[in-house]
Structure 1
């Protein structure tokens, strides 16, 4: 078991030791791109992820989690090589496509393999603990990478990309060392099988549907905020050398919160936990919009605390409600929702920022998150209540 856990830690590290994230908006700006262009690039990434998200999850179920993880890590490495040696918007689009496909192959397969590993060793009750630790490692890695990325960027905005390609390579041997436990299915009619799983996840099993949709909305919200951090810092005229430090603090906060996610969930329970997450995530956008000063950094810190325990907890709920032979596909449906929402909303809020103001973009984001979030939260409460009533009568 420890072999797989360690390898998954390294795969997470290779993806999340992000030297480029704290300075990437500055990098784009140097090459003549506005925030709208930045969000277009990230939407292309998301479109690539959306297009292949569910098929890649099914591929992980029938072809193998390990093979998908290996392929994803290789594409991730190539994507950063392209970024390292090109300068045009078109080349950046190509790199985003490679990174999007690579990310899609890893998403779902990693959590599914982790859950399969805990089931194989009869320790599935510890899944949330390990998912929290992996989330913590990812965010700790991103946090400390922020310091190095910021320092490298002082000399050249290219240096973080060279180093990032080297870090991405670490995931390849780690993925090759993984041991697979899930019995892979036989590919007979992929389209029919994918449709069956989508129908089951989003229509037949209402409880699972509510959890997938709600988790997808919250995931899109936290992803969007990650891309607002640098515009907020630029709005405050923050020195470049501080970008990495602030990014580090925020991601350390996520890592610490993720480490305690299982304890917080156990204390609050599903309904209270979901309500708390929505209030703080949507409310974070609203509060930040009216506090675009250095006090707004405290709001970002609180937002990132909630982000830290939201990710492993919401994934855990989905894993508890699905079967092993479709687990990666179901998790990919969640990621599909995240990327679809981001791809649809990001260019719009980026346009609002460029045409009007950062405050307007943040307020619009709060509404885009809260309205569907509260709908699926209420539906989730109703489904859980009906389930409890049914269990009492049996």
Structure 2
């Protein structure tokens, strides 16, 4: 074991912060829709998700085979190139290429950074801190998202390309941080070249009812977390247009996103206490229920009350992601940990991409997506979500959806 393996723990937090400096997060739909059409803007997001989907599992396998550090360096490098193309490109084809590269970057990091943290903690016999460390890392992420959202909105008022250029600078910083990671030691039970045994381990995971339950929950929560991200921006544009502030839409969107992340940081401060008080199953189901409620309100009305619910968009993530990871990581082997985590993301992205594609086909080809189209898509999603929530709640009583009590942070 290398003596500075513990540096990975602090570097992980900063890598999450830098990766979350997505200055274009609150304005990307407005930017693409201004240049292209609403349907093309949605399809660009689909391209991003498809790119991640195609590379998700192979990148997890690459991480398990070649190592966490090399995979994370590749992630930072291709993301840097992708956001640079968004900043300096001007055509639909260039934007597609950029989205593919950004998607590749997301695929390379998905599961790998989380596996890096757990294995670094395990190397120094601190794996029981995984939940607490993930909560801290999520705070770093939320702070990064909050700062970049409002800053990106302000930059977009000066030049719509500046948020993408600023994100490129952040990705250069991420590349420097990931270069400093130390490859954590891993135990293996699979002889070199015995890939069938690796596949067998994945099959065993799907026969584990606890892992299967968390897999389904994670896929559903991924989809419902991104619905307000996609459809919240055109709603904000319509709302500020109604009050005569169309030119300030990027800044307003950025401010709302910053407030959203700030609320999530505050919630993360009490997340561990809520888990202990409510129990893991109730906490996770409540978080999923809140996601469904946000989509349901957006489907019911286009009034200002939606702004209040949009501010809660990341709260479910603060109450679920660290605990999902903390529960399932000890159940996974080092030989297939990143592959399993990537497979989970793969299915979530695939389901969401297919749903968005169906939504894009059903919309008008106008520059601005009408609220009627948004409401129709979100109504269907809400009905699916309520059904899934009931099924998860019923099945939770039949399996051990519990997590060990870990140290506070």
The TM-score normalised by the length of structure 1 is 0.91
Following superposition of structure 1 onto structure 2, how do residues 1-394 of structure 1 map, counting pairs within 5 Å? 2-34=6-38, 36-183=39-186, 188=193, 190=195, 192-193=196-197, 195-202=199-206, 204-237=207-240, 239-240=248-249, 241-352=251-362, 354=364, 356-384=372-400
Partner in structure 2 of residue 390 of structure 1: none
Contact conserved, 1:57 with 1:332, CA < 8 A, in 2? Answer: yes
Q: State how far apart, in whole Å, the 1-side matches of 2:91 and 2:65 are.
A: 38
Q: Deviations over 1:74-123 (max 9, x none)?
A: 01101011112111111111111111111111110101111111112222
Contact kept, 8 Å, 1:349 with 1:364, in 2: the verdict is no
Contact 1:142/1:248 (<8 A) preserved: yes
> What is the aligned length?
383
Deviation at 1:353, TM superposition (A): 5.2
8 Å contact from structure 2 (residues 289, 389) kept in 1: no
RMSD over aligned CA atoms reads: 2.1
Kindly indicate whether the alpha-carbon contact (under 8 Å) linking 2:257 and 2:311 is maintained by their aligned counterparts in 1: no
- Which deviates more, 208-217 or 3-12? 3-12
User: What is the DSSP-based 3-state SS (H/G/I as helix, E as strand, rest coil) of the residue aligned with 1:324?
Assistant: coil
Rounded to whole Å, the distance in 1 between the matches of 2:59 and 2:239 is: 41
| Richer in helix (by share) | 1
Q: SS in structure 2 opposite 1:79?
A: helix
Provide the rounded CA distance (Å) in 2 between the counterparts of 1:100 and 1:248: 24
Of stretches 266-275 and 72-81 in structure 1, the one that deviates more from structure 2 is: 266-275
Identify unmatched segments of 5+ residues in structure 2.
Answer: 242-247, 365-369, 403-409
- Name the SS for the 1:382 alignment partner: coil
CA deviation profile, 1:7-60 (whole Å, cap 9, x unmatched): 2123212221111111111110221221x2222111111112112212211221
Distance 1:352 1:182 in 2: 50
Structure 2 distance, partners of 1:374, 1:66, is 40
**Are residues 120 and 260 of structure 1, via their aligned partners in 2, closer, same or farther at CA, if it must alter by over 3 Å?**
farther
Distance in structure 1 (CA, Å) of the matches to 2:27 and 2:238: 14
Inter-partner Cα distance in structure 2 for 1:233 and 1:283: 18
Indicate how the Cα distance of structure 1 residues 209 and 245 shifts in structure 2: closer, same or farther if over 3 A, else same.
Answer: same
* SS, match of residue 323 in structure 1: coil
- C-alpha distance in 2 between matches for 1:260 and 1:163: 32
Shift in Å, 1:313: 1.9
Query: Following the alignment from structure 1 to structure 2, what is the Cα–Cα distance between the partners of residues 261 and 299?
Result: 19
3-state DSSP of counterpart to 2:314? helix
How far did residue 376 of structure 1 move? Answer: 3.9
Q: 1:256 to 1:337 in 2, by over 3 A?
A: farther
Give secondary structure in 2 for the equivalent of 1:246. helix
**Residues 264/352 of structure 1: CA separation in 2 closer, same or farther (3 Å cut):** farther
Q: Deviations over 1:112-141 (max 9, x none)?
A: 111111112222221111111111111211
